[in-house]
Amino acid sequence: MKGPGVFLKFIKVSKLNVYVFIALALGLGSWSCSSRPIKDKNTFVIATYDDVKDWDPATAFSLEVLPMSNMYEPLLWFDASTTPGKVLPGLATSYTKSNDGLIWKFNLRENVFFHDGKEFNAETVKFVVERNKKLNGGASYIWDPVEKIVINSSHEVTFFLSSPVPFDKIVSSQYGSWMYSPNIINISSDSLLNGYGSGTGPYQLKKWVRNKHILLEKFDKYWRGWTTLNHYNSILIQVVSESSTRLQMIQSGLADYAILIPAQLLNILDKNPDIIVTYLDSWTNEFYMLNTKKPPTDNLWFRRALASSFDRETVDKHIYKNTGVRAKGLIPQSMPLFQEPDSLLNFDLDRARIYLEKSKINTNNTTIDFSFVSTYEEYRLTAFMLLDNLRSLGLSLELKPGLWSTNWDKAKNIETAPNIISMAWWPTVASPSDWFFSLYNTQTPINFNLSHYGNSIVDSLTQRAWSLESIDPEAAMSLYKQIQHILINDCVVIPSVDIKIPSVCRSSIVGLKNNPAYSSVFVYDLGKN
């Protein structure tokens, strides 16, 4: 599941010629010295905050990508490091599409095997996609445009689509696109066999101790082959709930990479020659969704008053420090097809007072409830900043910290939803439409529309823009700008920051290279196709 603070990093380890994808998210876990395997030089150790919730590669949708991106692979890889972003061969060596964008033919790689020994071929592709389409969970919805799959030969498959969408972005997405062996599925129940995993990736699942650790081992028959440069025999993912403990692990050398170290703790590492902290661009942004159905935020002028009370510059400079860039729109500035909207409501308390007066709401009897993720210090500090600003306007703000999963469950229900909820987003598919479909669309398959907003024009424009991406990118970009303008005018969301992810690693890991298209940890040289 997506939620606040799940971030991506793509790291090239130049000395080792190893690529590492790092996902960051929020949650709880547990760790003890007695429960963890012994670290050795052939094991790459990552200290993270939470455990896998769903091992099914079709529906996994959050920190699951941390181990799974080592176990499974898509047909294509999206290379966000190029401008514009390109797709690279994965399990498919090449593809063609019809002029109308409705027919896509893929040539599949031969002599590729799953961890269980089953050969990868057109039949497995058809099985995976048809199963995923039937499921209701995670990112399985990305396959919805597929109407029919035809097997042309053992290693050639054709997809027939219902609409001209950028299908190359779908098959290279960071969730829901992984190919897996049919042998791990219970055919009668159409569910994952408990404790099993079988992909084509460089590592296979060896051991999982719930809320403790995940151990992945090298797959000797990996189709890319292995060299001494790719020398890690295993990946050990330690679940460590406390950020201070993760900090200690990276300092002591018990971990090679630490995930989700708060900005307020990073200065501790500045003088440590054994640690390198690098701030990398991402496709993650953080924002605050305003409930358009619950008083008083159902009032447009009141929402505009709240937006004018939000000091993005202070949040950027003094709360996020080096880890954030002031938002200039509703999607990250580094995102392909980003277009800066004509205007945002910037911090202006005098203007906020004018909007409050126009709202005709009695501020003396008005309390706004604000739900934010309690495990993320930046959210807490931002909440107090907004509380102080609203006090100067005579408004009361009730702070409701909690875990993301709890906050989300309450926010989905209009009866229990807060007026304001903290959010972060990172795309499943490399497209602005991922934000607009998921967060503001009335037909969203997964309920992340926590503003409870509905606008048929936004729905229509999003669908049109998505359909145009592969055939007329400039037209699509113009439509995405229009969508942002409508959402800003309706004041559905308060943009905050575009995230720069602190990469915290031992000094032996150098030459960081960012690829914000993926949210995972992947230890291998992807340059070999």
Q: What ranges do the domains of the chain cover?
A: 281-500
Query: Rounded to two decimals, what is the model's pTM?
Result: 0.83
**pLDDT on residue 127:** 96
**pLDDT on residue 23:** 35
What is the dihedral sign for C-alpha 516, 518, 519, 523? negative
Q: Which tokens hold the place of 180?
A: 């897996």
Helices (H), 360-424: 377-391, 404-412
Q: 3-state DSSP: the chain helix, strand, coil percent, rounded to 5?
A: 30, 25, 45
Phi/psi region, residue 176 (left: phi>0; alpha: psi -120 to 50; beta: rest), is left
Task: Count other Cβ atoms within 10 Å, centred on residue 437.
Answer: 24
| Residues 35, 468: Cα–Cα separation, whole Å | 52
| Residues 198, 203: Cα–Cα separation, whole Å | 10
Question: Which are the contacts of 201, defined by CB distance < 8 A and separation ≥ 6?
Answer: 69, 70, 71, 72, 73, 219, 222
Give the angle 48-435-419 at the CA atoms, nearest 5°: 85
| Residues 454, 403: Cα–Cα separation, whole Å | 26
| Residues 339, 318: Cα–Cα separation, whole Å | 27
| DSSP, res 73 | B
Looking only at the bridges linking them, the beta strands covering 234-239 and 43-48 are parallel
Q: From the centroid of its chain, how far is CA 517?
A: 9
Q: Under CATH, which number does the domain 281-500 receive?
A: 3.10.105.10
Residue 450 contacts residue 416 (beta carbons within 8 Å)? no
- 165 phi and psi angles, rounded to 5 deg: -95, 160
- 487 phi and psi angles, rounded to 5 deg: -65, -35
- Residue pLDDT tens, the chain, 529 long: 344 333 222 223 333 333 333 333 322 223 333 344 455 778 989 998 888 888 999 988 877 878 888 899 999 998 877 766 788 999 999 999 999 899 999 999 999 999 999 999 999 999 999 999 998 778 888 999 999 999 999 999 999 999 999 999 999 998 889 999 999 998 778 888 766 789 999 999 999 999 999 999 999 999 988 876 666 889 999 999 888 899 999 999 999 988 888 877 888 887 889 998 888 778 889 999 999 999 999 999 999 999 999 999 999 988 988 788 999 999 999 888 888 888 889 999 999 999 999 999 988 888 999 999 987 888 999 999 999 999 999 999 999 999 888 998 999 998 899 999 999 998 888 899 999 998 998 876 567 899 999 999 999 999 999 999 888 889 999 999 999 999 999 999 999 999 887 778 888 865 445 566 676 555 665 554 4
HSE at residue 210, side-chain half, CA atoms within 13 A, is 5
Residue for token pair 């900043």: 385
Residue 107 contacts residue 156 (beta carbons within 8 Å)? yes
